[in-house]
Amino acid sequence: MILAKISINRPVFATMVIFALLVLGAYAFQDLNIDMFPDVDFPIVVVSVVYPGASPENMETEVIKKVEDAVNPLSGVKHIESKCLEGYAYSVVTFELGKNADVASQEVREKVAGITKDLPKDIEEIVIQKFDPKAMPIISLAISGDKSPRELTFIAKETVKKRLESIQGVGNVELIGGEEREILVELDLTRVEALNLNIFDIQNRLAAASMDLPGGTVKREGRDFTVRTLGKITSLDEIRDLVVKNENGRVVKLRDIGEIKDTTKELESVSRLNGGRAVALNIVKQSGANTVDVAKRIKARLEEVRTLVPAGVNIVIANDNSVFTVEAVNDVMINILYGSILAVLVIFLFLADVRPTIISAIAIPTSIITTFIFMKFLGFTLNFMTLLGLSLAVGLLIDDAIVVIENIYRNFGYGKNRAVAAYDGTSEIALAVLATTFSLVVVFVPVAYMQGIVGRFFYAFGMTVAVSVLVSLFVAFTLTPMLSSRFLREEHAHHKGTKNPIYMFTNAWNDFFDKLNGWYQSTVRYALSHRLLIILIALFAFIGSFFLIPLIGTEFLPQYDRGELWVSFKAGPGTSLEETAKLAEGVEKTIANHKEVRSIYTTIGAGSDPPSRGTIAVKMVDLGERNLSSFQLIEQLREELSTYAGLRFAIAGEEGHGGGSGGTVEISISGEREEKLMALASLVEDSVRATPGAVETDNSLGEGKPEMQLRLDRERMADLGLNIAQVSLAVRYLVNGVVPLRFREGEYEADVRLRLKEADRKNVSDLSRILVPSSKEPNGKGGYQVPLSYVASFADASALSEINRYDRQKTVKVFANNFGRFAGDVRAEALQKSAQIPTPPGYRIYASGEAEFQAEAFGYILQALLLSIILIYVVLASQFESFTDPLSIMLSLPMSLLGAFLGLLLFRSSLSIMSLIGIVMLMGLVTKNAILLVDFAKQSIAKGTERTEALVKAGSIRLRPILMPTFAMIFGMLPLA
Q: Using CA atoms, how far apart are residues 329 and 29, in angstroms rounded to an integer?
A: 13
Q: Can you give the pLDDT at residue 209?
A: 84
224 or 13, higher pLDDT:
13
Q: Can you give the pLDDT at residue 765?
A: 77
Question: pLDDT band at 787, cuts 50/70/90?
Answer: confident
User: Which of 172-186, 584-598, 772-786 is predicted with the least confidence, judged by mean pLDDT?
Assistant: 772-786
Question: pLDDT band at 573, cuts 50/70/90?
Answer: confident
The yes-or-no verdict on residue 608 having pLDDT over 80 is no
The yes-or-no verdict on residue 963 having pLDDT over 80 is yes
Q: Can you give the pLDDT at residue 366?
A: 92
Q: Are 82 and 110 in contact (CB under 8 A)?
A: no
Q: Can you give the pLDDT at residue 184?
A: 92
Q: Are 566 and 557 in contact (CB under 8 A)?
A: no
Cβ neighbors of 779 (< 8 A, separation 6 or more) are none
Q: Are 613 and 556 in contact (CB under 8 A)?
A: no
Q: Can you give the pLDDT at residue 496?
A: 63
Integer-rounded Cα radius of gyration of the chain: 36
Q: Is 944 left (phi over 0), alpha (psi -120 to 50) or beta?
A: left
Q: Can you give the pLDDT at residue 562?
A: 82
Task: Specify the DSSP element, H or E, that contains 471.
Answer: helix 452-487
Q: Using CA atoms, how far apart are residues 443 and 447, in angstroms rounded to an integer?
A: 7
Read off the DSSP letter of residue 944: T
> In whole numbers, what is the pLDDT of the chain averaged over residues?
87
Q: Which residues pair with 273 in a beta bridge?
A: 276, 601
The yes-or-no verdict on residue 89 having pLDDT over 90 is yes
Q: What is the pLDDT of residues 700-720, one digit of tens each?
A: 886 677 778 888 888 888 888
Q: Are 686 and 679 in contact (CB under 8 A)?
A: no
Q: Is 100 left (phi over 0), alpha (psi -120 to 50) or beta?
A: beta
% of the chain residues with pLDDT over 70: 96
Task: Determine the average pLDDT of the residues in 488-497.
Answer: 61
CB burial of 77-111 (b: ≥16 within 10 Å; e: otherwise) equals beebbbbbbbbbbbbbbbbebebebeebbebbbeb
Give the pairing of strands 665-671 and 705-712: unpaired
The torsion defined by the Cα of 217, 219, 222 and 226, in degrees rounded to 10, comes to -30
The yes-or-no verdict on residue 405 having pLDDT over 50 is yes
Class of the CATH-defined domain 564-703+811-846: alpha beta
Q: Can you give the pLDDT at residue 482?
A: 92
The yes-or-no verdict on residue 410 having pLDDT over 90 is no
The yes-or-no verdict on residue 373 having pLDDT over 80 is yes
Q: Can you give the pLDDT at residue 660?
A: 44
Nearest alpha carbon to residue 47 among 83, 85, 99, 76 = 83
Nearest alpha carbon to residue 660 among 620, 700, 705 = 700
Q: Using CA atoms, how far apart are residues 933 and 955, in angstroms rounded to an integer?
A: 6
Task: Determine the average pLDDT of the residues in 408-419.
Answer: 82
Q: Can you give the pLDDT at residue 164?
A: 94
User: Which of 213-222, 307-316, 826-835 is predicted with the least confidence, judged by mean pLDDT?
Assistant: 213-222
For the chain, domain boundaries: 2-31+352-501+527-555+855-976, 44-130, 137-179+272-325, 564-703+811-846, 706-799
Q: Do domains 2-31+352-501+527-555+855-976 and 564-703+811-846 have the same CATH topology?
A: no
Q: What is the pLDDT of residues 460-474, one digit of tens each?
A: 999 999 999 999 999
In the 3-class helix/strand/coil scheme, how is 162-196 assigned residue by residue? HHHHCCCCEEEEEEECCCCEEEEEEECHHHHHHCC
Class of the CATH-defined domain 706-799: alpha beta
The yes-or-no verdict on residue 659 having pLDDT over 50 is no
Read off the DSSP letter of residue 34: B
In the 3-class helix/strand/coil scheme, how is 119-164 assigned residue by residue? CCCCCCEEEEEECCCCCCEEEEEEEEECCCHHHHHHHHHHHHHHHH
The phi, psi pair for 844, rounded to 5°, reads -145, 150
Question: pLDDT band at 112, cuts 50/70/90?
Answer: very high
- Please give the CATH topology (third level) of the domain spanning 2-31+352-501+527-555+855-976: Multidrug efflux transporter AcrB transmembrane fold (1.20.1640)
Q: Can you give the pLDDT at residue 705?
A: 75
Q: Using CA atoms, how far apart are residues 812 and 810, in angstroms rounded to an integer?
A: 7
84 or 490, higher pLDDT:
84
Q: What is the pLDDT of residues 857-913, one digit of tens each?
A: 899 999 998 999 999 899 888 888 888 888 888 888 888 888 899 989 988 888 998
Q: What is the pLDDT of residues 945-958, one digit of tens each?
A: 898 999 999 888 88
Q: What is the pLDDT of residues 262-303, one digit of tens each?
A: 888 888 889 998 988 899 999 998 877 788 889 999 999 999
The yes-or-no verdict on residue 481 having pLDDT over 70 is yes
Q: Can you give the pLDDT at residue 492?
A: 53
248 or 601, higher pLDDT:
601
Q: What is the DSSP string of 493-562?
A: GGGTT---HHHHHHHHHHHHHHHHHHHHHHHHHHHHH-HHHHHHHHHHHHHHHHHTGGGS-B-SS-----
Class of the CATH-defined domain 44-130: alpha beta
The yes-or-no verdict on residue 937 having pLDDT over 50 is yes
- As a CATH number, domain 137-179+272-325 is 3.30.70.1320
